[in-house]
Structure 1
């Protein structure tokens, strides 16, 4: 079967599909930002689409009008309710911790800090707590902005097991800050089939620009079975993380065990509640050409969410040489210009922003969206963390944007008496350097 026509493994439409499309578009946008004129990337890139998606969905929960429409378009959802239902499901299932049963350690935290002199609307607070599992807290941004910033950063540090020590840089919180939304995700998983450290060797890694660097490569034994799929122009390796332990469906000798049934039929275990159990893996998309990554990123972004899921390996096959470099990368971004380029403009515009669903009184405008992520991959598995924060400022409802007035070219002036409507003096200034005698 042609790879482009293979059925998707994920349901089409809805916020779940929107997350994948958002991830691919964001990767493309960040790749362009980090690159130069010939498309070559300058830096490594890591980010958490889920962390960003949930942060922006929580903004959308309080948005109205064009502001809401732009956010829904970006997130690929039909309504705030759809986003809330998606967030609720993710928090309860995909981000449920599995470490007690031998699976990955996963944690998710979400927080809403509001200026103590303003009040959250009950409906927004309830939505944040119920769907997004958020804590809500009052903060003294007006008088103690730096202390509030440090408190939020400590919260993120604790939630990410110290992998991310801060999300809000200096100056990002000030006396006009009205609301800060933040979340944090932590993941630590062991490979289902760990790499043998004795097989790790240092080899050359070729960069996009043709230069080389020596790095440690993890290797598997030759002629082993791995989940690998080959396509035109690229191949995909899927490395599974050790799952949490689940009893077999039936201990009868006439029934196959769960892992045998999954391998043969491609089905997933379903819990007693009817929900599919979370199953984590790392998927590596490797272009055939050394400088082929920018083109592959473009192709993935253009194709949409089905591209990722349609190209994951289905079966384990016997392979020869499998090498993957150990790596630890981190990134930090201020995403306002990126999101504006992706169509979110009203939320950042003081004259157009409609975030009226958040506060009982007072107007808000989105000031900045911050994101940090870190991931480390080694022979045992993966440890990763991410945090996103949206800062919003209070604006006076009576005024629009603060205008500029720079009289750096010829102008007219009038001296008037307003009650009688009398023009006392008037004139034009064409060259203020000229002086009367």
Structure 2
């Protein structure tokens, strides 16, 4: 590849993520992964992967907050990282080095990078509630290099599909149709036809689709209109869900906040809510969270009886991530000097023209997807006089939330400022 060639062709990196608790559709029903199937070595790998993903998540979150101040945010750091890691497998030189550092990868060896993602992808390959899909769309007449193709197929579980980007409307319809199929037709038009032309060579897409039911559902009859405080002075009336149950909870004085974990059925996934003690404390909390590993919060959680109040909320978020990646030190990939010589069999230069990320979250009483009863027996109600009073965890002002697995790997992250 000649880095100085003036007109590199374009690569599109597209990520899309969905968190859809209202869905009751079942896709690929298979038994959940059993924890007993995971070896000690796998557990150590997952923990290290989660630690690095958490750092990447914090870095992206900071840039998104600065780029879109005052907005509710929801994004999937895992989706973004996975999509960019697929491009990294075809990178060389400084472009590869920037991606290794900016993405927080544990290795600079493409085979090891691919293997680290494979272990996570494979762990949820048969999951009923978390569906992760990768896809690469390639310009007709431009075959992939064998090594690149094999890594994507075997490790990222990604199939390649030929399209003619010169027919931009047809190519966009093909890509968007694949995305719609993976999201039950809820995410449409991820890539506009205007973004594709005869110079486009590859489009890499990662889709992550989560749909789970709360282990402890909020009774619908308990939802009431209550105040959600936007700041110290303004408030709005919102549908506030309510539940009294035993949850894992932590008081976090160092963060001037509390945390609560809401688990999902038949899964190692849960929602972690971190709530500042003050109505106006979110910005200060965000600063502290930059240097506080999520694992340290989850380790502080202990099971106790909690009265939870949580607003029903929806958020949609779409962002073009070029500026975010550049600010994280990954800039050469967007220039005419980008080095992606390990992707195509042909020697022509490639560069990334855009990275689009789209995410959606909908939180309600059920969570997602009805499943079998948990078999949990609540016998402490008759002993209430002997128990300490329940903790109050009332989410009545702006907060952060994460969808994590048992290793604290961040699949989704976000904040709610206004409803």
Please classify the TM superposition score into its range, dividing by the shorter chain length. Answer: 0.7 to 0.9
Q: What is the rounded CA distance, in whole Å, between the counterparts of 1:54 and 1:210 in structure 2?
A: 41
Q: What is the rounded CA distance, in whole Å, between the counterparts of 1:111 and 1:121 in structure 2?
A: 16
Q: Which residue is 2:56 aligned to?
A: 22
Q: Which residue is 2:229 aligned to?
A: 206
Inter-CA distance 369–291: structure 2 relative to 1 (3 Å threshold): same
Q: Which residue is 1:290 aligned to?
A: 279
Q: Which residue is 2:308 aligned to?
A: 322
Q: Which residue is 2:388 aligned to?
A: none
Larger radius of gyration: 1
Structure 1 residue corresponding to 2:115, chosen from 85, 89, 97: 85
The structure, 1 or 2, with the larger RCO (C-alpha pairs under 8 Å, 6+ apart) is 2
Comparing 228-237 and 285-294, the one that deviates more:
285-294
Q: Which residue is 1:65 aligned to?
A: 93
1:96 shift after superposition: 2.9
CA RMSD of aligned residues (A): 2.1
1:83 shift after superposition: 2.2
Q: Which residue is 2:380 aligned to?
A: none
Q: What is the rounded CA distance, in whole Å, between the counterparts of 1:298 and 1:28 in structure 2?
A: 9
Residues 366-391 of structure 1, C-alpha deviations (whole Å, 9 max, x = no match) = 1100000111111111489x99xxxx
Q: Which residue is 1:310 aligned to?
A: 296
Structure 2 stretches lacking a partner, 5+ long: 1-42, 370-402, 404-410, 413-419
1:14 shift after superposition: 4.7
Q: Which residue is 1:353 aligned to?
A: 338
Q: What is the rounded CA distance, in whole Å, between the counterparts of 2:126 and 2:282 in structure 1?
A: 33
1:34 shift after superposition: 1.0
SS in 2 for 1:302: coil
1:295 shift after superposition: 2.1
Q: Which residue is 2:365 aligned to?
A: 379
Structure 2 residue corresponding to 1:229, chosen from 240, 243, 250: 250
Alignment of 1:146-295 (within 5 A): 146-208=169-231, 210-221=233-244, 224-232=245-253, 233-243=256-266, 279-295=268-284
Asked if the contact 1:219–1:322 (Cα under 8 Å) also holds between the matched residues in 2, the reply is yes
Q: What is the rounded CA distance, in whole Å, between the counterparts of 2:46 and 2:181 in structure 1?
A: 36
Inter-CA distance 326–127: structure 2 relative to 1 (3 Å threshold): same
SS in 2 for 1:113: strand
What's the TM-score once normalised by structure 1's chain length?
Answer: 0.71
Asked if the contact 1:237–1:285 (Cα under 8 Å) also holds between the matched residues in 2, the reply is yes
1:127 shift after superposition: 0.6
Residues 26-55 of structure 1, C-alpha deviations (whole Å, 9 max, x = no match) = 1111111111xxxxxx21110111110100
Comparing 322-331 and 170-179, the one that deviates more:
170-179
Asked if the contact 1:189–1:242 (Cα under 8 Å) also holds between the matched residues in 2, the reply is yes
Asked if the contact 1:62–1:124 (Cα under 8 Å) also holds between the matched residues in 2, the reply is yes
Residues 152-197 of structure 1, C-alpha deviations (whole Å, 9 max, x = no match) = 0010011112221121124111121111001111111011111111
Q: Which residue is 2:289 aligned to?
A: 300
Inter-CA distance 15–92: structure 2 relative to 1 (3 Å threshold): same
SS in 2 for 1:213: strand
Inter-CA distance 335–181: structure 2 relative to 1 (3 Å threshold): same
Asked if the contact 2:111–2:151 (Cα under 8 Å) also holds between the matched residues in 1, the reply is no
1:15 shift after superposition: 3.8
Inter-CA distance 151–209: structure 2 relative to 1 (3 Å threshold): farther
Q: What is the rounded CA distance, in whole Å, between the counterparts of 1:62 and 1:120 in structure 2?
A: 10
Inter-CA distance 61–210: structure 2 relative to 1 (3 Å threshold): farther
Asked if the contact 2:313–2:362 (Cα under 8 Å) also holds between the matched residues in 1, the reply is yes
Structure 1 position 32 matched with structure 2 position 61: no
Asked if the contact 2:90–2:148 (Cα under 8 Å) also holds between the matched residues in 1, the reply is yes
Asked if the contact 1:347–1:365 (Cα under 8 Å) also holds between the matched residues in 2, the reply is yes
Q: What is the rounded CA distance, in whole Å, between the counterparts of 1:12 and 1:48 in structure 2?
A: 17
